[in-house]
Every structure is written in structure tokens, then in C-alpha cells.
């Protein structure tokens, strides 16, 4: 990696939707699955390739789970200027939680960058 990674003003992340999906498979200790829908917009003048992500899931009971790795749902999408990349995935939790994170990538000019994922809540319908 050349140089320090910096927050990139050219990318914008929108949490399109968060849906409680109790019918999805989940482990007994984290029985509440939520599907989230995310869009990442490139408002800059250069293409940006997303290389990875980091999620921080903070449950109300104090448990914190950090999920990080390469790619976005198994892809490394290149987002052209004015374009966007949308996907969905899911988290499983034991109870209500707050989620935030970041996407990491590289601009076509070789700068390593990140953009924050806005905080969103995972709340079971009976707890809302």
C-alpha cells in the first residue's frame, strides 16, 4: 500500500433498507437475522475499486463483533464516476444492535481510500 489511507469525499454510502428476516438460518446463540441493502455511489471524477470492508456490530448486551475482509460479497467492484454498486447481505444478532463500518478501496490514480458506512440499527419488530 502506497501512502496513508484517507477518507474519500468522492464516495457516498446509503443504507437503502434493513429487513428483519426470522426465516433465515441463524445460530442458536444469535437467532435474529437481518438483511441489509447498501448502495455505494461514486461522486468523484475517477474510477474507484472497492477492495474490502469492515463491520462493527455492537449489541445492547455489550458484545462487539468485528467482521472484516477482502471484497464486497465476494467481488471487488470498480465504480465508474457517476456510477454506483448495490448489494445486500446479512448480520445475525442475539438482540438489538447498532451497526457501522467502512469500505476500503483504491482510486484509479493509486490512492488508498475508505468511506464510512452510516450507522444503522437492528431491532426485532417486537422490540421497536
Tell whether 122 is covered by a domain. yes
Q: Give DSSP secondary structure letters for the chain.
A: --S--EE-TTEEEEEEEEEE-TTS---TTS-EEEEEEEEEEE-SSS-EEEEEEEEEEEETTS-EEEEEEESBTTB-PEEPTT-EEEEEEEEEESS-EEEEEEEEEEETTS-EEEEEEEEEEE--GGG-
**For the chain, how big is the Rg over CA atoms in Å?**
16
Q: For residue 71, give its domain range.
A: 6-127
Tell whether 1 is covered by a domain. no
pLDDT at 23 > cutoff 90? yes
61/127: higher pLDDT? 61
Tell whether 73 is covered by a domain. yes
In this structure, what CATH number is given to the domain that contains residue 39?
A: 2.60.40.1470
Tell whether 49 is covered by a domain. yes
Q: How confident is the model at residue 3 (pLDDT cuts 50, 70, 90)?
A: low
Tell whether 41 is covered by a domain. yes
Amino acid at each position: 500500500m502506497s501512502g496513508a489511507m484517507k477518507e474519500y469525499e468522492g464516495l457516498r454510502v446509503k443504507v437503502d433498507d434493513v429487513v428483519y428476516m426470522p426465516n433465515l438460518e441463524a445460530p442458536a446463540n444469535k437467532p435474529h437475522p437481518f438483511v441489509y441493502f447498501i448502495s455505494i455511489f461514486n461522486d468523484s471524477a475517477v474510477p474507484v475499486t472497492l477492495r474490502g470492508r469492515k463491520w462493527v456490530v455492537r449489541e445492547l448486551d455489550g458484545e462487539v463483533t468485528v467482521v472484516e475482509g477482502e471484497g464486497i460479497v465476494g467481488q471487488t467492484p470498480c465504480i465508474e464516476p457517476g456510477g454506483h454498486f448495490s448489494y445486500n447481505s446479512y448480520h445475525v444478532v442475539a438482540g438489538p444492535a447498532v451497526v457501522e463500518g467502512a469500505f476500503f478501496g483504491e482510486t484509479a490514480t493509486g490512492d488508498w481510500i475508505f468511506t464510512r458506512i452510516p450507522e444503522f440499527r437492528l431491532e426485532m419488530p417486537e422490540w421497536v
